[in-house]
Structure 1
Amino acid sequence: MQFTEVVDTLALNAHITHAQQAIRAEHGTGASRWLAQQAGISQRTARRWLSAELPRSRTDIVARLANRLFTAAQRLRTAQSIDFGAVAVTYDGHHEGTRHIGPVTVDPALARDLATVATHLETGSLPAAADALSTAALTAYSPGLEDTLAVDQYDHGVDVTP
């Protein structure tokens, strides 16, 4: 799975709270106004849709309207564990096999690395986000390895547990 597919999967498998957080992160204090305009609803209703009182029948609308990059970023920011699975790695552009990283508990250092990925996603810088996720994965596998290798592909994607 290429990095953009990983981002899409993170966004598609997000909980509605991540979509709500993504809308707030992207639009700040104007989030309810933006949602109201996009969904054709009143601002008061939009505020309810951005709260914990969101009607279950409206979750699909909110999730669809949320920016996928921001939604994926919110999932990474709230991760308690992350499963990188098996990754294909390269050295100097040459394939160097596969490393199985598997599930990792998010410690403060990994949380900082994932926050960097999230920040790059929110600014729309996909190449920088891909590099940062590669660094996070390889650092979690074996610190220092990120200076030598780069993740080229995530064999089964990346799974995040909140």
Structure 2
Amino acid sequence: MGGVSGPIDPPRDGEGDRGAERRGGGGASHSLRRPEVYEARKARREMSLPEVLLWQRLKGSPQGIAFRKQHPIGPYRADFYCAATKLIIEVDGIGHDLGDRPEHDVYRTEKLERQGFSVVRVLASDVLHDPDAVADSLVVLASSPPPPPLRGGPPPRERGGS
């Protein structure tokens, strides 16, 4: 018989719980497969004060509009996202005015809009000044139907005599 003789030590914390992986626990194996998810989870724990103030007002689906915080979208992460209207909300602090950040933000916004998302940028100072008003305006914006996608070419001509 090729068994182990003697007492067997119990597994250390986190080891041996095969069900933990099915329940969403079990360590970093899931996040290593999708690093954007790991980064989004980390960002949710490290939100800035304006983001926290805004999230306090957007969580819980105000007026039936559901928002997500620090939501990964491809290689990017939206500060807040409304899936129903494909609305991305970015809270821009002073760092967005420095270096090549403005150009990067324009490029990112254009790329996301080409994919069918709407991007709204909110100044962090506006959120700090009146978070309720900013949140209310975002809920109204998110409850509006998205505009139809732009098509290339001139508008259609009227039929009839000319």
**TM-score scaled to structure 1, two decimals?**
0.26
Higher relative contact order (Cα pairs below 8 Å, separated by 6+ residues): 1
Larger radius of gyration: 2
**TM-score scaled to structure 2, two decimals?**
0.26
